[in-house]
Amino acid sequence: MDSPAFVAPAFDRRAWPEGGRLDYWHAGDGWPLRRYRLGPGTRGRMLVLGGRGDMIEKYLEVIHHWAGRGWAVTSFDWRGQGGSGRLTDDPLCGHIADFGQWIADLKALATDWRAEGAGPAVLLGHSMGGHLLLRALAEGLPLPDAAVAVAPMLGLRSWPLPLRLAEGMAGLMCRLGRGTRQAWTQKETSERQRRIRQLRLTHDPERYADELWWRDHSRDVAIGPPSWDWVREALASTRALEEKGDLARIAMPLLILATQADELVSTAAIRRIAARLPDARLHVYGKEAAHEILRELDPVRLDALARIDAFLDEVAPR
């Protein structure tokens, strides 16, 4: 009688994987950034940069995937969000006064990270993390062996306002002294409101529910809408990267995954910038993928992981 086929246990997305290290890395001014590390490093090292409002917990599943492939994976919460404290008295406000602070944090943390071991070094950024990754590289962050940007925030969807009007409104609100206040409300008091927000992020209601579970069980990592300062900075930083950024400096293999159905970042801006990068490969999904490609339903998520793994095997071999 044949033995039954082995089936690997499902990954528990609501628990920290065994063998990881959760601690704090301290910036030059002493600010603690919550950091997580997992994986043996036999394949190389990977630094994962989350998006606006994200926390490490949202990406434990993909961190575990790459750790299982031998990567020593490091991720962290940006200053002011997740488990890295807040920059206003409102614990739910995603605030930053200057994106340059995040660039400085990334450059310093990446310098320490690169000194931790040998082997191929890869950076991966989602959404805002993808923008900050490309901006830091354009501003002199030493090039890794390869990089991946997933739904990078290279332009914002400002609908229903024209982009210039959105920039003017954000600037006005900051001049009126409202820069540290939430720019909008994030209503999730009804099933309909939760469903609307979910579909902007992912078609997978279970992975979306995981985010809500972590927020409910770890209230210190929960965060809500951005501040008006964040909106102003995001609009200015994305415009400056496209119009004035030294994109030719990003001369290493780069894979960009995007989706035509993205309601948060501009796919058109992603296409424009990808065409100007020296060694970029772009894949754009259709309506099957929302913004959080790595937290989508498995047909999209597994396809994205396979594309990333194949890319890294080619350009950053062991």
pLDDT at position 9 is 66
Report if residue 4 sits inside a domain: no
pLDDT of residue 160: 82
pLDDT tens for residues 97-115?
A: 999 999 999 999 999 999 9
Number of domains in the chain: 1
Q: Give the pLDDT score at 318.
A: 86
pTM for this structure? 0.95
**pLDDT value for 86:** 97
Is the separation of the CB atoms in 14 and 213 below 8 Å? yes
pLDDT value at residue 5? 47
Residue 1: is its pLDDT beyond 50? no
Per-residue DSSP letter, 233: H
Q: Does a structural domain hold residue 1?
A: no
* pLDDT (average), residues 249-256: 98
User: Which runs of consecutive H residues, i.e. helices, occur in the chain?
Assistant: 60-68, 99-114, 128-138, 163-175, 191-201, 205-217, 228-244, 267-276, 298-315
- Which residues form the domain of 301? 21-315
**How sure is the predictor about 145, in pLDDT bands with cuts at 50, 70 and 90?**
very high
Segment 240-261 mean pLDDT: 98
For residues 248-266, give the mean pLDDT.
98
| Percent of the chain residues past pLDDT 70, beyond the cut | 97
**Ramachandran bin of 257, using left for φ above 0, alpha for ψ from -120 to 50, beta for the remaining angles:** beta
**What pLDDT was estimated at residue 80?**
98
Residue 3 within a domain = no
Report yes or no on 6 lying in a domain.
Answer: no
Question: 76 lies in a domain?
Answer: yes
Cα gap 268→9, rounded to integer Å: 40
Alpha carbon distance, N-terminus to C-terminus of the chain: 40
Give the pLDDT band of residue 203 (cuts 50, 70, 90). Answer: very high
Per mean pLDDT, which range of 86-95, 175-184, 185-194 is the poorest?
185-194
Are 52 and 24 within 8 A, CB to CB? no
* Average pLDDT rounded to a whole number, residues 238-252: 98
Instruction: Calculate the CA dihedral of residues 70, 74, 14, 186 and round it to 10 degrees.
Output: -140
pLDDT at 126 over 90: yes
> What's the gap between Cα 264 and its chain centre?
13
The pLDDT of residue 6: 40
pLDDT value of residue 231: 98
Averaged confidence pLDDT in the chain: 95
Kindly give, in sequence order, each residue whose CB lies less than 8 Å from that of residue 115, ignoring residues fewer than 6 positions away: none
In this prediction, residue 190 carries a pLDDT of 81
Tell me if 45 is assigned to some domain.
Answer: yes
pLDDT at 7 over 50: no
Q: Is 229 a residue whose pLDDT tops 90? A: yes
| pLDDT: which is higher, 6 or 210 | 210
Residue at 184 is within a domain: yes
| Greater pLDDT, 194 or 174 | 174
The region that residue 299 occupies, defined by phi over 0 for left and psi between -120 and 50 for alpha, beta otherwise, is alpha
| pLDDT at residue 33, as a whole number | 98
What's the chain's Rg over C-alpha atoms? 19
- Render pLDDT for 41-72 as a digit per residue (tens, 0 to 9): 999 999 999 999 999 999 999 999 999 999 99
Residue 4 has pLDDT above 60, yes or no: no
Q: How confident is the model at residue 3, as a pLDDT?
A: 45
Does residue 44 sit within a domain? yes
- CATH at 106: 3.40.50.1820
